[in-house]
Structure 1
């Protein structure tokens, strides 16, 4: 396989996947923190954000697979 640099858009996909993954991970911690403090409403919000980020991660991966 030849060494071909990523195109900007492909690098941007990788970066967005990474940041969405990080966001999902931290929201998991935030949900745990909210649960520990008895705030189920905030915990549910963080869980929803985590799920949304994970959907975006998967969509980004699917897009990236088609491009590299």
Structure 2
């Protein structure tokens, strides 16, 4: 696998990026849930909660893949 200037291969970098964005979005969704609750839109608040749960699961899956790659030659020099 090619390793870019970051020292991470593309797949590891991509997983870290997806994990970061999923976790960041999860933080933001808390406000969206509160906004929907305050507007009396339980249906929309429930939607945002589902989206938050999906991103949480996505971040967790990325973490598992990153752990799997860690310490292998596939991860690039930054994780070995």
Q: TM-score, normalised by structure 2?
A: 0.76
Counterpart position of 2:78? none
Match among 13, 31, 44 for residue 11 of structure 1: 13
Greater Rg by CA: 2
Instruction: Give the superposed CA RMSD.
Output: 1.3
Equivalent of 1:37, from 36, 39, 43? 39
Shift in Å at residue 25 of structure 1? Answer: 1.3
Which ranges in structure 2 are unaligned for 5 or more consecutive residues? 1-5, 71-80
- Unaligned stretches of 5+ in structure 1? none
Q: Distance in 2 between matches of 1:8 and 1:66?
A: 15
Q: How many residues align?
A: 65
Equivalent residue runs for 1:1-68 within 5 Å:
5-68=7-70
Structure showing the higher helix proportion among its residues = 1
TM-score (norm 1): 0.89
